[in-house]
Amino acid sequence: MELWIKVFEVILPVIIVILTGFCFGKVTNVNLKPVNLLLLYISTPCLIFSSLMDGKITMDAAYQIIVAGSIMIFVGIGLFSAILKILKKNIVTFLNPLVFPNTANMALPIALYAFGNEAFEYAIIFTTIVFFYHCSIGIFILNGRDKITEVFKTPLIYAVSLALILNNNEINIHIGLNNAINLLGTTSIPLMMFSLGHKLSETKIVDLNENLLLSSFRLLIGSLLGYSVCKILGVQGLIAKVMILQFSMPSAVFNFILSDRYNKSPEKVASLVFVSTVLSIIFVPIVLYLLMK
């Protein structure tokens, strides 16, 4: 019972902030696009850079996350493609939302609250891997080879790379600069959750039965795939817990952003993101409970 209480204490603040963003979106007409750009280009890269600089992630740990995370993505692409073919669903529309989970808006704060700062650093590396593939393979799935180089236009990749290089070579940056980066990064986590809630408030459910079925696949297969890959590769301890938790998340909001940009049934993708996020309120605490035992 005590463990369930701890799980509840981890999940509750995340749900409250997301719900606050949802209610805010319902009662106002405020456009959060500038906030989302702030998250993408400034606050999140600053959060990632400062967290990795303050932490002590080894290259061996980063290597484990990169290899295991890459295998999860590629196996997921094959597995979910086969499922969509069997169900006779549009692969271009639904493959990305099934493969790419919400490793940022939801998973980062949950990993931090559940397992602490070290887990948060591992979660950041995994989030970066997922984001890299989302902006490369994900765009290829939607649009072919056009604009696949957009992944290199986002500062997230460079923030992680620079922090790992500086950290592993024991190179420190000026304390004033570090404090400024830290300060910018502190806005990231609450804004991520608030922005997720706000985006969900704008979403309408297109086909509930279809969304429930595909959302169940995203959550169940995602968690089982995360566990299986870690088990087979021998990834253990905190790294395994973080990766399994993150790959058990609902569909990422970024799936909608990409589908909207390339006009690939964005209303269907947004609906799937919404339903999978609602289902995750029940599913993720169960996964978290098992990981915290």
Reduced to 3 states (helix: H, G, I; strand: E, B; else coil), residue 265 is coil
What is the structure's pLDDT at 131? 84
Residue 26 has pLDDT above 80, yes or no: yes
For the question of whether the overall pTM of this predicted structure is more than 0.85, the answer is yes
Q: Measure the CA–CA gap between 222 and 73, rounded to whole angstroms.
A: 10
Residue 278 has pLDDT above 70, yes or no: yes
What is the structure's pLDDT at 23? 95
Q: Where are the alpha helices (DSSP H) in the chain?
A: 2-27, 33-38, 44-54, 59-87, 91-99, 107-115, 117-143, 155-168, 175-185, 188-201, 208-233, 237-247, 254-261, 266-292
At 166-205, the pLDDT tens digits run 877 778 888 888 889 989 888 888 888 888 888 889 888 9
Q: At what angle do helices 266-292 and 208-233 cross, to 10 degrees?
A: 40
The CATH number of 2-292 is: 1.20.1530.20
**What is the CA 30 to chain-centroid distance, rounded?**
24
At 63-122, the pLDDT tens digits run 999 999 999 999 999 999 999 999 999 999 999 999 999 998 889 999 999 999 899 989
Q: Measure the CA–CA gap between 73 and 43, rounded to whole angstroms.
A: 26
